[in-house]
Amino acid sequence: MRNTPKTDPAGEPPKDYVERTNLAIDYIVRNLAAPLTLDEVAAVAAFSPFHFHRIFRGLLGETLNQFVKRQRLERALFLMSHAPGRSLTDIALDCGFSSSSDFSRSFKARYGVPPSVFDIETYRQSHRDQLSSSMAEHDQSVRLERLPRGENPDGFVATLRDLPARTVAYLRVLDPFQPDRVTQACYRLMEWADARGLGDGDWLGYMWEDPTLVELKDCRYDVAVVLPPDARHHVPDGEVGRFDFPPMTVAEVPIAGDIELEQRAIDWLFDTWLPSSGYEPDDQPAFEAWVGRPFAHGMEHFELACHLPVRR
């Protein structure tokens, strides 16, 4: 967390501040297409508007309005990249802009040009280069080279699965590409889950942003464990939050290998399978559905399924 207005003795923000701010973020994510006011979101977090404004900015480094506008623009970028069949007007309204002209003004103010002439492929490649450089900086053996569109050297096959509604307990990681942040969050959540007899549930990881479209420092990654119905009273609990996912259809690709194999599977799903599938991405994050617990085989070998939610 960044620039916290108040901290506990360990230098971290009070857990109830984190809990209540996460409630606000989750509300924003669920209601991005609707008007969102300071009073409304502050009430969700059980803060007065004055105190919520100060606390939110201290924890996230930007005001509520800045955060909401950035989320809307980044969602629009995702749809422009992965749902090219949608018109810019539809994207504008789906992302909470009052009109296509409002969207165009906001987009140009942030990215320098109107969305109608934005070169999204060049933008994605530049961010992909940043992602690869960041990963290589921390591990020289990692080379996240982009899998060219249309190629499938690993023989990936996507299977459509209908998943039921799920409630998860999650621990949110800001700026997750910094070394050890995600793994440490996994260990903390596993300790929390084991203490409550929940550690044998299904484990998920999911990124709310596409790091090929969003600055790495602005990404959010949640590590989560799926809760049985009789355990939902355990959360929210300080830094451990609760999120309710609706039923969804996912395209599933299982993998057993290193981070580079996983990245190729993600590239293939988004850049090759999705455009030719006839589906559009759903308004949900893409998931890592772990086989067993996260990092059960260390950092060199992953066993999981990549899940891309799609609209039927």
Class of domain 159-311: alpha beta
Assigned architecture for domain 67-117 = Orthogonal Bundle (1.10)
**Contact yes or no for 107/114 (Cβ under 8 A):** yes
To the nearest 10 degrees (0 to 180), the angle between helices 49-60 and 15-30 is 90
Select from 38, 45, 49 the least CA-distant residue to 21: 45
Return the residue matching tokens 């971290």. Answer: 12
Backbone angle region of 201, left / alpha / beta, with phi > 0 → left and psi within -120 to 50 → alpha: beta
Q: Can you give the pLDDT of all 312 residues of the chain as single tens digits?
A: 433 344 444 456 677 899 999 999 999 999 999 999 999 999 999 999 999 999 999 999 999 999 999 999 999 999 999 998 899 999 999 999 999 999 999 999 999 999 999 999 999 888 877 777 776 665 545 556 778 888 999 999 999 999 999 999 999 999 998 888 999 999 999 999 999 999 999 999 999 998 889 999 999 999 999 999 888 888 889 899 999 999 999 999 999 999 889 989 999 999 999 999 999 999 999 999 999 999 888 888 899 999 999 997
CA distance 245 to 235: 15
> How high is the pLDDT of residue 108?
96
- Domain borders along the chain are 15-61, 67-117, 159-311
How many CB atoms neighbour CB 46 within 10 A? 12
Evaluate whether 147 touches 271 at the Cβ level (below 8 Å): yes
Structure tokens at 213: 């479209």
Structure tokens at 76: 């629009």
DSSP per-residue string spanning 42-68: HHHTT--HHHHHHHHHHHHSS-HHHHH
281, β-bridge pairs: 310
How many whole angstroms separate alpha carbon 41 and alpha carbon 247?
A: 25
Report the Cα–Cα distance between both ends of the chain, in Å, rounded. Answer: 37
Cα distances (Å, whole numbers) of residue 62 to 37, 211, 225: 15, 19, 29
Sorted by sequence, the CB contacts under 8 Å of residue 203 that are 6+ apart come out as 223, 224, 225, 226, 289, 290, 292, 293, 294
Alpha helices in the chain (DSSP H): 15-30, 38-44, 49-60, 64-82, 88-94, 100-111, 120-138, 181-195, 259-267, 274-277
Q: Which is it for strands 220-226 and 166-174: parallel, antiparallel or unpaired?
A: antiparallel
